[in-house]
Amino acid sequence: MKRVILASTSTLYNGDYLDYLLPTLATHFVNCKTLLFIPYARPSGISHDDYTKKVSMAFAKINISVQGIHQYKNPAEAIQRAEAIFTGGGNTFLLVSQLYKNNLMTVLKNTIDAGTPYLGTSAGSNIGGMTMNTTNDMPIVLPESFNTLELIPFNLNPHYLDANNQSTHMGETRETRINEFHTLSSIPVLGLREGSWLEIYGETIILKGNLTARLFRQNETPIELETNTNFNFLT
């Protein structure tokens, strides 16, 4: 049975890394003493070692030790043997590129589908969708494919922001960009606001957090979904 959490962000404003999620993660990883971290997304260009150290400090608060996947000679075997897996945020293009370069996308999907508990934040959540096409990130590298883990039957747009009518910014809103995506694809997209996450246990997908999420479907008006919404209507 799949045991997955896909969170919009790792850190809330003025909060410490993962702190807002730790009570949930203590339950999610209840039988796990060790965790495999995938640092490939490298936010702000942070090194794999420094990123892993940051994650280790957070998980120490719930008595889980962390090893980075880059520390293993055989990363595929590390995934298959992991008690738990976390993919952190950063640049989704870089993350997906590295997963394909190391032949890990399929093994990661199969391992999660087989029941190894998984956490993704930001880019690590983006890859939980059908494709990475609704990421907010700059294409700093070209991945082998935009197809990702397909842990849920829709795409995510983490860090979703509503249009600010008082802003003088003349660029596209998130809603505009998602609508552009839907001129070419029928995959639904969930705009996941900061502090919100999805809990996936088996085939059940539930929205968690204190905010609504915005669901976009091709040729339909977007709708707001309340906390504890069950997404089985999309399966």
Determine the 3-state secondary structure of 7 from DSSP.
strand
| Half-sphere exposure of residue 101: CA atoms within 13 angstroms, side-chain side | 10
Identified catalytic residue from 48, 113, 159, 185: 159
Residue 150 Rama label (left phi>0; alpha psi -120 to 50; beta): left
Report the DSSP pairing between strands 118-121 and 85-87. Answer: parallel
Q: Among this protein's residues, is 137 annotated catalytic?
A: yes
Q: Among this protein's residues, is 162 annotated catalytic?
A: no
User: Using CA atoms, how far apart are residues 192 and 190, in angstroms rounded to an integer?
Assistant: 6
Identified catalytic residue from 97, 125, 137, 182: 137
Identified catalytic residue from 8, 97, 122, 196: 122
Q: Among this protein's residues, is 167 annotated catalytic?
A: no
User: Using CA atoms, how far apart are residues 96 and 150, in angstroms rounded to an integer?
Assistant: 13
Q: Which two tokens stand for residue 131?
A: 């494709």
Residue 63 Rama label (left phi>0; alpha psi -120 to 50; beta): left
- Residues with catalytic function: 122, 137, 159
